[in-house]
Chain A
Amino acid sequence: MTRQQFRLAEGGRIDRDRPLSFRFNGRAYQGYAGDTLASALLANGVHLVGRSFKYHRPRGIFSAGAEEPNAIIQLETGTRSQPDLRATQVELYEGLRAKSVNCWPSVRFDLAAINSRLAPLFPAGFYYKTFMWPGRAWHLYEAVIRRMAGLGVAPTGPDPDRYEKTHIHADVLVAGGGPAGLAAALAAARAGARVILADEQSAFGGQLLGNGESVDGKPGAEWAAAAAAELVDLPDATLLPRTTVIGYFDDNYLTLCERVTDHLGPAAPPELPRQRLWKVRARHVVLATGAHERPLVFQGNDRPGVMLASAAQSYVNRYAVRPGRRAVLCANNDSAYRAALDLQEAGVEIAAIADLRPAPDGAGVEAARAQGIEVLPGQAVVATQGGRHLTGVEIAPLSEDGNALAGPSSTEKCDLLCVSGAWNPAVHLFSQSRGKLRYDEGLACFVPGRSVQAERSAGACNGRFALADCLAEGHAAGTAAAAAAGHGDDSGPVPKAEAEPVGAIRAVPCVPSRSGRANKHFLDLQNDVTAADVALAAREGYRSVEHTKRYTTLGMGTDQGKTSNVTGLSVLAAALGRPVPEVGTTTFRPPYTPVTFGTIAGRDVGDLADPARMTPMHHWHVQVGAVFEDVGQWKRPYCYPRQGESKREAVDRECLAVRNAVGILDASTLGKIDIQGPDARKLLNMVYTNAWNKLEVGRCRYGLMLGEDGMIFDDGVTSRLAEDRYLMTTTTGNAARVLEWLEEWLQTEWPDWRVYCTSVTEQFATMTICGPKARDLLAELVDGLDLDPAAFPFMSWRAAAVAGVPARIFKISFTGENSYEINVPANYGMAVWSAIMNAGEKYGITPFGTEAMHVLRAEKGFIMVGQETDGTITPHDLGMDWAVSKTKDFLGKRSLARADTTRAGRKQLVGLLTEAADAVLPEGGQIVSELARKPPMDMIGHVTSSYYSAALGRSIALALIKGGRDRGGETVHVPLLDGSSIAATVTEPRFYDSEGERLRG
Chain B
Amino acid sequence: MFLIQCPWCGPRDETEFGYGGEAHIARPAGPETLSDADWADYVFMRKNPKGVHLERWVHRHGCRRWFNMARDTYTHQVLGVYQMGEPPPGPEGGDG
Contacts and interface: CB of A to CB of B under 8 A. Distances in A.
Nearest to A894: B31
Contact of B84 (A708, A709, A748): A748
Nearest to B24: A748
B3 A743 contact: no
Contacts of B84: 747-748, 751
Contact of B32 (A708, A749, A889): A889
A877 B86 CA distance: 40
B52 interface: no
Nearest to A253: B1
Interface in A844-899: 889, 893-895, 897-899
A889 B40 contact: no
B39 A895 contact: yes
B36 A744 contact: no
Interface string A882-923: 000000010001110111000000000000000000000000
Interface in B21-40: 26-27, 31-32, 34, 36, 39-40
A747 B7 CA distance: 14
Nearest to A736: B60
A743 B66 contact: yes
A249 interface: yes
A709 B39 CA distance: 10
Nearest to A252: B3
Contacts of A895: 39, 43
Contacts of A894: 31-32, 34, 39
A452 B75 CA distance: 9
Contacts of B60: 740
Contacts of B14: 250
Given A708-B43, A894-B34, A251 B66 contact: no
Contacts of B3: 250-251, 253, 281
A798 interface: no
Contact of A889 (B1, B18, B31, B66): B31
B36 A743 contact: no
Contacts of B89: none
A413 interface: no
A173 to B, nearest CB: 15
A709 B36 CA distance: 12
A899 B36 CA distance: 8
Interface residues of A, number: 23
A250 B1 contact: yes
Contacts of A740: 18, 58, 60, 64
B31 to A, nearest CB: 4
A897 B31 CA distance: 11
Contacts of A251: 1-3
A502 to B, nearest CB: 37
Contacts of B2: 250-251
A893 B1 CA distance: 38
B49 interface: no
A434 interface: yes
A748 B68 CA distance: 10
Contact of A751 (B32, B34, B40, B85): B85
A452 B76 CA distance: 10
B43 A709 contact: yes
Nearest to A708: B43
A744 B20 contact: yes
A744 B26 CA distance: 13
A749 B85 CA distance: 9
B31 A747 contact: no
B53 interface: no
Nearest to B68: A748
Interface string B38-61: 011011100000000000101010
Contact of B1 (A249, A747, A749, A899): A249
A452 B85 CA distance: 32
Given A251-B2, A748-B84, A434 B75 contact: yes
Given A251-B3, A894-B32, A749 B27 contact: yes
A747 B39 CA distance: 22
The residue in A281, A709, A747, A893 that gathers the most chain B C-beta atoms within 10 A of its C-beta is A747
Contacts of B13: 253, 281
Nearest to B14: A250
Contacts of A434: 75-76
Given A251-B2, A894-B34, 17 more contacts: A249-B1, A250-B2, A250-B14, A251-B3, A709-B44, A740-B64, A743-B58, A744-B66, A747-B65, A747-B84, A748-B56, A749-B26, A749-B27, A889-B31, A893-B32, A895-B43, A898-B40
16 contacts: A250-B14, A251-B1, A251-B2, A251-B3, A253-B3, A434-B76, A743-B58, A743-B66, A744-B58, A747-B84, A748-B20, A748-B84, A894-B32, A895-B39, A898-B36, A898-B40
